[in-house]
Amino acid sequence: MSKKVPLPLKQKTILEKGDTLYQPGISVDCTIFSFHDNVLKVLLLKVKQVDKWALPGGFIFKKETIETAAYRVLQERTGVANIFLQQFNAFGEPNRSDSSIHLTRYLEYGIKVPKDNWLLQRFITIGFYALIDFTEVNLEDEDSNEGAEWIDINKLSNLIMDHENIILKALEVLRTQLAYLPIGRNLLQKKFTMPELQKLYETILDQKLDRRNFQRKMIGFGILNKLNETRKGGAHKAPFLYTFNDKKYQKALKEGLYGSW
Amino acid sequence: MSKKVPLPLKQKTILEKGDTLYQPGISVDCTIFSFHDNVLKVLLLKVKQVDKWALPGGFIFKKETIETAAYRVLQERTGVANIFLQQFNAFGEPNRSDSSIHLTRYLEYGIKVPKDNWLLQRFITIGFYALIDFTEVNLEDEDSNEGAEWIDINKLSNLIMDHENIILKALEVLRTQLAYLPIGRNLLQKKFTMPELQKLYETILDQKLDRRNFQRKMIGFGILNKLNETRKGGAHKAPFLYTFNDKKYQKALKEGLYGSW
């Protein structure tokens, strides 16, 4: 006889009272990017019961804003708080919802989800994304995250529903922003070299860039401070370190890298 | 005795069967901009029963994508079809819905909407926007639009719910796009002068721009063809006419005005 796993209170509440607690048919999903070891990664949760990966997501309380729900859901499921989340797209293909995930998850607890349960309806999800500093997130504490891991965006596989598509759309938005907004302050260490900055751009764009052209453009934007320090230890000539000029970085975030009209 | 207005079939269906036909608690709203007589305008519908203006909006059928719903709703309510709509933000303040609008509208037909009717729940709306050629829209046909009119965005007043806020957010997105994408092909006549193009930018940005600086920048983008023709009839020296270079305009729409990395 197999041992029955007890149903956690949170899962019980969602199943039995979700329709009275949450907005029906709508969810939020968060795509959290970071850059580490020259790889762009995204924060995913392992859904053990179906052995697939999922974006941290959840529902919107009846009296909660969409934004508040996104922050809450992200913190509840991964322990990540105090980051700037940005709404970028609503995903609503009529067949995007996959009831088999809910059925399988609850079956672990010996529960058969009724066909008319609110969880099994069509859900439209509102996508948020963020760029965060890898070192500011502690995923070690297993109690505060549901098996969250950083996954290389070039090695995405076995995601639930349309979550891979959501990540690719977030990446597309990120690439567009590279064309006119500064980037990197949350993704790089405080001090970085020009090759490190270039690598970040190359990784997001998924293409090689010309070194001299990149350097000339970046310096032209006027958002960098060149330090009188070098990064030692490499095989090449020690490259100079830079920081972002906070004031000019902020200005460029508002007006664009090429200045206002 | 007042004459009772018969309830149109569409309104009857929405009231009585809406909860089985549409996704619950979610709607779409379209902000359609055009530029005419040097004024940026937005397409609004007069809600006669409450004497207020509203964005063309509606609901999403159970098996319909969000995008399809936006196109359908816009066409049904204004007669406008075949324009490029872009999703830009979901609006979900918990108190944004205003049940008094539905109550008042149905009261005209002598119907009291029950408190638990699906129309009176909280709605989250997904905002779309478009820039269109004023001359391509025919609002004269009263049968195909519900009192749609072009309203100067500087003279917005008396809008329902958060619709003014939705328009301002769409305008903000439009302004951001001015920083790195070409604009104007749908908003100007095929042939236009540099002062006309500048006026479009000034209107969207709501600020005066330096004439020489603007001209130098615009020509630098390489998206214009200067014609060997002038616009006659003004008080000043007849200005040259321009058209957009379609191929370069398309390229800039993809890569940004400042070129790719």
* pLDDT single digits (tens) A23-51: 999 999 999 999 988 899 999 999 988 99
- Which of A23, A63, A178 minimises the CB distance to B25? A23
Question: How far, in Å, CA of A257 to CA of A223, rounded?
Answer: 9
Q: Tell me whether A209 touches chain B (CB under 8 Å).
A: yes
Written as six digits, the tokens of A78 are: 């991964």
Question: Residue B38: left (phi > 0), alpha (psi -120 to 50), or beta?
Answer: left
Q: What is the pLDDT of residues B88-100, one digit of tens each?
A: 999 999 999 999 9
Predicted local confidence at residue A141, as pLDDT: 64
pLDDT: which is higher, B70 or B147: B70
Statement: residue B145 has pLDDT above 90: no
| Residue of A96, A124, A175, A212 to mutate when probing chain B, most B C-beta within 10 A | A124
Provide the β-strand partners of residue B35: B40
pLDDT at B79: 87
Picking from A62, A90, A217, the nearest residue to B66 by CB comes out as A90
Out of A171-175, A234-238, B191-195, least confident range: A234-238
> H or E stretch including A113?
none
Q: Are A128 and A88 in contact (CB under 8 A)?
A: yes
**In this structure, what are the phi and psi dihedrals at residue A32, rounded to the nearest 5 degrees?**
-110, 115
Q: Which residues contact B107 (CB under 8 A, 6 or more apart)?
A: B49
Residue A261 has pLDDT above 90, yes or no: no
Q: Using an 8 Å CB-CB cutoff, list chain A residues near B62.
A: 94, 122
Is B206 exposed, middle or buried (CB count within 10 Å of its CB: 0-12, 13-18, 19+)? exposed
* Mean pLDDT, rounded, for B228-256: 89
- Residue B95, amino acid: N
Q: Tokens 């000029």 label which residue?
A: A245
Residue A231 pLDDT class (50, 70, 90 cuts): confident
- Kindly state whether A24 is in contact with chain B, defined as any CB-CB distance less than 8 angstroms: yes
pTM over cut 0.90 = yes
Please report which confidence band the pLDDT of residue B30 belongs to, taking 50, 70 and 90 as the band edges. Answer: very high
**Confidence class of residue A1 from pLDDT cuts 50, 70 and 90?**
very low
Q: What is the pLDDT of residue A3?
A: 60
Mean pLDDT of A61-82: 94
pLDDT above 90 covers a percentage of chain A that reads: 75
Long-range contacts, A46-50 (Cβ 8 Å, 24+): A46/A146, A46/A147, A46/A149, A47/A101, A47/A105, A47/A160, A48/A147, A49/A101, A49/A104, A49/A105, A49/A107, A49/A108, A50/A100, A50/A101, A50/A104, A50/A105, A50/A160
Calpha distance B208→A79 (Å, rounded): 47
Q: Does the distance separating the beta carbons of B180 and A60 come in below 8 Å?
A: no
- Please check whether residue A96 is in contact with residue B65, taking contact to mean a CB–CB distance below 8 angstroms: no
Mode of pairing for the β-strands spanning B52-54 and B124-131: unpaired
> Looking at the complex, does the CB of residue A88 fall below 8 Å from at least one CB of chain B?
no
Residue B1 confidence (pLDDT): 46
| In the predicted structure, residue A192 carries a pLDDT above the cut 80 | yes
Alpha-carbon gap, residue B111 to A94, rounded angstroms: 33
How far apart are alpha carbons B27 and B243 in whole angstroms? 38
Q: Does B224 touch chain A (CB under 8 A)?
A: no
- Residue B221 · residue B215 · CB < 8 Å: no
Contact status of A84 with chain B (Cβ, < 8 Å): no
Query: A28 pairs with which residues across the strands?
Result: A58, A126
Question: Residue B170: pLDDT above 90?
Answer: yes
**Residues A120-149: tens digit of each pLDDT:** 999 999 999 999 887 777 777 666 677 899
Mean pLDDT of chain A: 92
The arithmetic mean of pLDDT across residues B34-63, rounded, is 94
Q: Compute the C-alpha angle A121/A123/A126, nearest 5°.
A: 165
How large is the ipTM?
A: 0.91
Residue A137 vs residue A213, higher pLDDT: A213
Closest Cβ–Cβ partner in A180, A201, A209 for B180? A180
Beta strands in chain B (DSSP E): 22-36, 39-47, 52-54, 57-61, 86-91, 124-131, 148-152, 192-193, 224-230, 240-244
B129: which chain A residues are within 8 Å (Cβ-Cβ)? none
Backbone angles phi, psi at B206, to 5 degrees: 55, 45
β-pair type (A86-91, A39-47): unpaired
Between helix A194-205 and helix A163-178 the angle, nearest 10°, is 130
Amino acid in position A151: I
Over residues B3-20, the pLDDT tens digits come to: 667 888 999 999 999 999
Distance CA A89, CA A87 (A): 6
Mean pLDDT of B199-217: 94
Token pair, residue B89, equals 């933000």
Please say if the pLDDT value at position A79 is more than 90.
Answer: no
Q: Which residue has the higher pLDDT, B145 or B75?
A: B75
